[in-house]
Amino acid sequence: MNLHATPQRSPAVPESYRVRHHYRYVYTGSIYDVKQRLIMIPPNYHRDQQLVAYDLDVRGPSGRVSIDWLSDLFGNRICRVEAERVDHALDFEAHFTVRHIDRGPPTDEPDAEQLRAYLGLTALTAPDAQVKAAARAIRGQASTQTQSAELAHDWAAQSITYRVGVTGTQTPAAMALHLGQGVCQDYAHIMLAVGRDFADVTSTSGVFSGSATGKLHWSKQAEAIESADSAQAEGAAA
C-alpha cells in the first residue's frame, strides 16, 4: 500500500492587473455643449488578454450628461460623453481589470477585406507628397515590417514640433506637417499616414495601422500601451 499521496497541483491562477487611466482637462472659463470621444477601456479580448471588469467615472460637468458605449471598426471600446456645461475642470477616470489567458495560436487568418480597414485612408490621414516621400525612403531602408514601423515612428516624432493651440481635432496630418507644429493627435495621424502608405491597398502587405488601447505586455513588469489619440474630441478618429 502506498501511504504517500501524490500532491494535487492547483490550477495556475491567471495573471491579472488592475489599471487606472486618468485624464484631466482644466479650462480658464466655463465651456458649453461638451462632446468627448474616449478610448480608455480595452475590448473584451485582445489576443492573449481578457477584460474582466471596468468602470468609468466622469467628474466636473453640470447640467445634462449622457454617456454612450459603442465599438469601432478595429474593435476598440468607444465612450461618447456629452455634457451641458463644465465650469473649471473635467475628469475622466477609468479603472479596468484584465487577465492573461492562453488562447493558443490563432486559428484563422484575417481575410483581405478585414485587413483593408487598416489600410484605408481617411480625411485625417491622407498622405501628401511629403508623407509619400518619407514612405518611399523608409521602404528603401527597412528589410522587415518591424524596422518599417520603427523608422515611421522616428520620422513622425521629428516631423513637427509639439505646440498647443496651432491645430485642432479636424486638422489633417498633411496640414500639421505644413504648419510644422501640433499635439499628440497630430503625431498619431502623421504616423498612421506613413504606415498606411507603406502598403498597396489592393494587397495584404505592408504595415497595418489602426488605433488600439489598453493592451498589456505580459512580462514581469506590465507596460500599458495606449494610442496617442486615445482621448481626442468627437469626430477626430483616425
Mind listing the pLDDT tens digit of every residue in the chain (238 residues)? 444 444 455 556 678 889 998 999 999 999 999 999 888 888 888 878 899 999 999 999 999 999 999 988 777 889 999 999 999 999 999 999 999 888 777 655 666 666 676 677 788 888 999 999 999 998 889 888 788 888 988 999 999 999 989 998 889 999 999 999 999 889 989 988 888 876 543 344 445 455 444 445 443 323 323 333 333 333 333 4
Please state the domain extents for the chain: 16-100, 112-202
CATH architecture of 112-202: Roll (3.10)
Task: Give the right CATH number for 16-100 from 3.10.20, 3.40.50, 3.40.630, 2.60.40.
Answer: 2.60.40
d(CA 112, CA 201): 10
